[in-house]
């Protein structure tokens, strides 16, 4: 037997592939203020490591539409959260309603507690806005069973927690400042502050991500940790003609521009591309038509899972048609809508230029057959003009 000091020891290096959790956020499918709620969800995702590739799925608490079962089956989520709106959502999105409710609440409390002062009651309520639930959807036992059966039959329930505005993500997710600290580097997040129509905001923030006060405060205070030198948030105003530039830069350079909120959630992560190709050029561009929550969520979720997916609200398409006609209504065509449509046609032209077939795929969950046919005409006309 040889001398052990002369033996060769073989060390094996184990290469671990680390990925962020795949998350699905459930929200009420009948939320009358769904646009505001979705913006709060995008802010919450922007606080999570890997959050830019989470999904948003509407539900009534008992059922989920088949389109989203299909999407979730392809996505294979690790965790599901339920978004619960609180008074903080009302305060951020509908300030006048919040102020009216606040005044009524203060008056009601003082009537039953006459020794209380107005200012102390107001301060007490405002200090608790993120914990006072406003509207939410209970997820039934039957739906939880179906989620487990369809998506994770051999393990635990996927529905793990609630999410809400003003409350940072916790385990099993990773709060973004914590992920930034773990890299040992520094990061400045340039957060776009977009002054535009709500449709434009929903589209743009789905690409750039959206920073809220919580993340900004964490950058200032470092959440009790020594992160201030490594983590900074800088807001930039975007309005008017600059909006088209914002969309173009964010879309083209989503991966290469880590300073935006959503790409910042990709810190330490990278995309996997088959055969090292970023784009699957054989895929046709997809446009989701429609103004509903379901249309938007389908666009949002598909755009997390493949390239070349766009959203075209019927409101914008109708305004585009009217603006180009003799009977167009004065003042309906606003600057941000023009920027949105100009950007969309530019992207479609760039994508189709390299394809032999100048075709796109159109889909909607909400419009009728007649409305769909009506929508096709201006889109076909525009594509013919492009080529």
Could you report the per-residue pLDDT of 203-220, keeping only the tens digit for each? 999 999 998 876 776 666
Q: Please tell me the least confidently modeled range out of 110-114, 128-132, 223-227, 284-288.
A: 223-227
Domain boundary among 271, 305, 339: 305
Per-range mean pLDDT, top range of 11-15, 60-64, 256-260, 383-387 = 60-64
Domain residue limits at 380: 309-386
pLDDT digits (tens, 9 = 90+) for 62-71: 999 999 999 9
Location of structure tokens 């890997």:
50
Location of structure tokens 């996505």:
75
Considering the domain boundaries, does residue 1 fall inside one?
no
Considering the domain boundaries, does residue 367 fall inside one?
yes
Pair (221, 275) in one structural domain: yes
Pair (126, 183) in one structural domain: no
Q: Under the phi-then-psi rule, with left for phi > 0, alpha for psi from -120 to 50, and beta for the rest, what region is 224?
A: left
Pair (241, 114) in one structural domain: no
- The span from the CA of 219 to the CA of 247, in Å, is 26
- The span from the CA of 139 to the CA of 290, in Å, is 27
Pair (46, 101) in one structural domain: no
Instruction: Pick the more confident residue, 10 or 287.
Output: 287
Q: Please tell me the least confidently modeled range out of 29-38, 126-135, 268-277, 376-385.
A: 268-277
Question: What would the 3-class secondary structure string for 6-59 be?
Answer: HCCCCCCCCCCCCCCCCEEEEEECCCCCHHHHHHHHHHHHHCECCHHHCEEEEE
Pair (105, 209) in one structural domain: no
Q: Tell me: pLDDT of 43 over 80.
A: yes
Say what the pTM is: 0.85
- Note whether 348 and 253 are within 8 A (CB): no
Q: Please tell me the least confidently modeled range out of 119-133, 235-249, 264-278.
A: 264-278
Pair (316, 298) in one structural domain: no
- The span from the CA of 117 to the CA of 114, in Å, is 8
Instruction: Pick the more confident residue, 348 or 323.
Output: 348
Pair (191, 227) in one structural domain: yes
Considering the domain boundaries, does residue 10 fall inside one?
no
Considering the domain boundaries, does residue 201 fall inside one?
yes
pLDDT digits (tens, 9 = 90+) for 117-150: 777 777 777 776 666 777 777 899 999 999 999 9
Structurally, how many domains does the chain consist of? 3
Instruction: Pick the more confident residue, 261 or 378.
Output: 261
Considering the domain boundaries, does residue 141 fall inside one?
yes
């Amino acid at each position: 037997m040889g001398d052990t000091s002369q033996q060769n020891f073989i060390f094996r290096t184990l290469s671990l592939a680390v990925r962020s959790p795949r998350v699905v956020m459930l929200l009420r499918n009948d939320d009358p203020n769904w646009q505001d709620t979705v913006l709060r969800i995008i802010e919450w995702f922007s606080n999570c490591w890997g959050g830019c590739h989470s999904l948003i799925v509407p539900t009534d608490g008992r059922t989920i539409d088949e389109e989203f079962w299909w999407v979730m089956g392809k996505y294979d989520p690790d965790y599901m959260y339920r978004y619960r709106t609180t008074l903080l959502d009302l305060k951020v999105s509908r300030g006048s309603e919040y102020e009216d409710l606040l005044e009524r609440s203060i008056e009601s409390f003082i009537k039953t507690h006459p020794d209380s002062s107005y200012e102390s009651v107001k301060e007490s309520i405002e200090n608790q806005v993120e914990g006072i639930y406003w509207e939410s959807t209970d997820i039934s036992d039957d739906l939880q069973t179906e989620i487990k059966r369809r998506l994770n039959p051999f393990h635990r329930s996927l529905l793990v927690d609630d999410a809400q505005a003003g409350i940072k993500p916790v385990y099993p997710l990773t709060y973004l400042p914590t992920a930034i600290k773990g890299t040992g580097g520094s990061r400045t997040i340039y957060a776009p502050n977009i002054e535009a129509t709500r449709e434009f905001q929903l589209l743009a923030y789905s690409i750039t991500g959206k920073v809220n006060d919580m993340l900004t405060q964490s950058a200032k205070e470092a959440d009790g940790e020594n992160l201030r030198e490594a983590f900074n948030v800088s807001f930039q105003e975007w309005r008017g003609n600059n909006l088209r530039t914002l969309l173009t830069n964010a879309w083209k350079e989503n991966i290469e521009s880590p300073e935006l909120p959503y790409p910042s959630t990709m810190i330490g992560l990278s995309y996997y591309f088959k055969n090292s190709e970023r784009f699957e050029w054989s895929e046709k561009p997809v446009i989701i038509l429609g103004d509903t929550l379901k249309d938007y969520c389908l666009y949002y979720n598909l755009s997390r899972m493949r390239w070349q997916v766009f959203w075209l609200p019927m409101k914008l398409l109708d305004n585009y048609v009217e603006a180009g006609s003799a009977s167009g209504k004065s003042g309906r065509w606003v600057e941000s809508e023009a920027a949105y449509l100009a950007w969309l046609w530019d992207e479609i032209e760039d994508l189709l230029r390299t394809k032999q077939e100048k075709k796109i795929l159109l889909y909607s969950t909400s419009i009728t057959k007649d409305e769909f046919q009506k929508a096709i005409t201006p889109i076909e006309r525009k594509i013919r003009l492009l080529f």
